[in-house]
Amino acid sequence: MESNKLASLLLNLAHALFAIFLVIIVTEAIPIRLLDPDWILALSANLVNTVTIPLVGLGLVHIAANLSSEARFRLVQRRLSRLATWVTLGFFLFLPLLGLLIFLNGQRIEKVNALQKIQIELKADQIRKAVAEAQSPQQLQSAMVAMQGPQLDAAALNQPLPQIKAQVLGVVAKTQSNFLTQLKGPYSKEYTPVFKQILRISLLSLISGFGFASLAWNPQANDSLLTSWLKSFQSLSPNRGGIKRPWPRWLTAMQKRLKASMARRRLRQQARRHNHTINRQTSRQRRQFKRKQDELMKIRERLEKARQSVFKGNAQNPDGVRAGNNAGPSATPPPAHR
């Protein structure tokens, strides 16, 4: 009996926590603006900041169901566990939602900057037109007052009109340039806190999803959703607990394709290295052959020059060559002995 009373007390406390969480979220979400990045960011931050309330309530429900043997506690546990499964999926879907939030935030900032740029340019063009149409300093001054442009003092009115117009146009150009440089893009330092908050919400959403998965109890398997996921991932291991387990078919096929692609890649690399070696050797042989061929050509040129020089000398002294050829050993008598 005491355990049933304690279980009823814990269940009521869990219901109160769930009600508090719903009130906080609903009051923050009204009015609903699905395409407003500020609304999405505020709701997401409020949701991850208060997510511990339903987690504690769900834990109290599990404690109450284990303390009491009444069927109503088991029924509440089963229903809330089914709801926790969907909440887990919702928190995991927060990540693409936050990516959409970053995109929408950047688009909004760019649109605002473009609109401000157009307004500044239109204002500057109107002032320039008024300056061009002014016929006197007084008319120019009245036009600047009406358009909220650069104001002219009494000393400026005594100057020539072209000089006054040049001063006004200079002030307009400088003001326009300052406004354009003050426009900040979506990835500037001014928006860094927004991206930090989005990163914080993403991490807390991921952790909250795993928290609800650990509390999503499956009475048939007598295990939580997170434990079932871990067992499924562990079953993919080929050697767990000292028992060699076969790989799933799709993993085996993927492994075979990966090995085949790596083998083909190694063969292509070997073929490229072999072709590079052959090309390098061939180029070296070509250079050696070219060098020897150049040396032979130089030798031939020297022989040809020597031959031409000999023929040229014979052509210049044909008698000497003929006399030298006809004279023999008996042509010159030996000296007489005394």
| pLDDT (tens digit per residue) in 238-288 | 555 444 555 567 667 777 888 888 888 888 888 888 887 887 778 788 888
Q: Which residues pair with 244 in a beta bridge?
A: 239
Question: Which H helix or E strand runs over 59?
Answer: helix 52-67
The phi and psi torsions of 255 (rounded to 5 degrees) equal -65, -40
1-15, 27-41, 246-260, 323-337: which has the minimum mean pLDDT? 323-337
Give the pLDDT band (50/70/90) at residue 20.
very high
Give the pLDDT band (50/70/90) at residue 199.
confident
Q: What pLDDT is attached to residue 319?
A: 54
This prediction has a pTM of 0.50
Q: Which residues pair with 239 in a beta bridge?
A: 244
> What percent of the chain is predicted at pLDDT more than 90?
3
Is the pLDDT assigned to residue 54 strictly greater than 60? yes
Q: Name the amino acid, one letter, at 254.
A: M
Helix/strand/coil percent split, the chain, to 5: 80, 0, 15
The better pLDDT of the pair 319, 44 is held by 44
- Cite the beta strand spans of the chain per DSSP E: 217-218, 223-224, 239-240, 243-244
User: Could you read off the pLDDT of 286-296 as tens digits, one per residue?
Assistant: 888 888 888 88
Q: Determine the Cα–Cα distance for residues 7 and 21; give it in Å rounded to an integer.
A: 21
Q: What pLDDT is attached to residue 318?
A: 55
Is the pLDDT assigned to residue 188 strictly greater than 70? no
Q: What pLDDT is attached to residue 181?
A: 74
**Contacts for 204 with CB less than 8 Å, ≥ 6 apart:** 48, 51
User: Could you read off the pLDDT of 76-95 as tens digits, one per residue?
Assistant: 888 888 888 888 888 888 77
User: Smallest Cα–Cα separation from 139: which of 114, 168, 173, 110?
Assistant: 168
Is the pLDDT assigned to residue 171 strictly greater than 60? yes
22-31, 38-47, 181-190, 207-216: which has the minimum mean pLDDT? 181-190
Give the pLDDT band (50/70/90) at residue 187.
low
The better pLDDT of the pair 192, 295 is held by 295
Give the pLDDT band (50/70/90) at residue 237.
low
The phi and psi torsions of 137 (rounded to 5 degrees) equal -60, -35
Q: What pLDDT is attached to residue 19?
A: 92
User: Smallest Cα–Cα separation from 106: which of 45, 10, 232, 191?
Assistant: 191
Average confidence score pLDDT of the chain = 77
Sign of CA dihedral 320, 326, 330, 333: negative
For the ranges 54-58, 181-185, 199-203, 271-275, the maximum mean pLDDT occurs at 54-58
The better pLDDT of the pair 132, 190 is held by 132
